[in-house]
Amino acid sequence: MTQIGEMVKLDLGDNQCFGCSQERADGLGLAFKRTGDGTVECIYSVPRVYRGMSDVVHGGMQAVLLDEAVGIAAYLFWAPETHAVTANLNLTYLRPVPVGQKLILRGEVTAEDERNFHVAGAIMDSGGAELTTAVATLRKLRTTRSAR
């Protein structure tokens, strides 16, 4: 179990995730630290290649960043026989997110029920001001099957 202050180590086998894989040369290589119970954070500067207009991070790339943050937060709760996939991700764009500047990506599990993790996320500037927020539902999937 990852302790508060430790980097989250994903045990997913051959992790080729665009967002969090450390092996993909063409991926983002996001690395999250556990900052609380069900909370993770990542410091990241978005390269200019992912800009939309001017020097603002493209809205679709913001969705990728927040999907990773909420997914990694939920990962902290996964039992060995469970995985989860994003079922719903709603973003609110509050302020422009600048490319090339240090950002904080945060995900926090707010509730869990039999079928889902409910997670909140945010992209914040280096001072902690929220730029984009997200509310997500991640659906639990059983990955081991019992014999019938």
Straight-line distance from the first to the last Cα atom of the chain, in angstroms, rounded to the nearest whole number: 31
Assigned token pair, 44: 């990241």
Number of domains, the chain: 1
The pLDDT value given to residue 80: 62
Of 110, 24, 120, 115, which Cα lies nearest the Cα of 66? 120
Q: What does the alpha-carbon distance between residue 57 and residue 132 come to, in Å, rounded to a whole number?
A: 11
Range of the domain at 62: 33-142
pLDDT tens across 116-140, in order?
A: 999 999 999 999 999 999 999 999 9
Within a domain: 18: no
Q: Which residues pair with 83 in a beta bridge?
A: 141
pLDDT tens across 51-76, in order?
A: 998 999 999 999 999 999 999 999 88
Q: What is the CATH number of the domain that holds 123?
A: 3.10.129.10
State whether residue 66 is helix, strand or coil. helix
State whether residue 40 is helix, strand or coil. strand
The predicted model scores a pTM of: 0.91
Place of tokens 């609110």: 92
Within a domain: 11: no
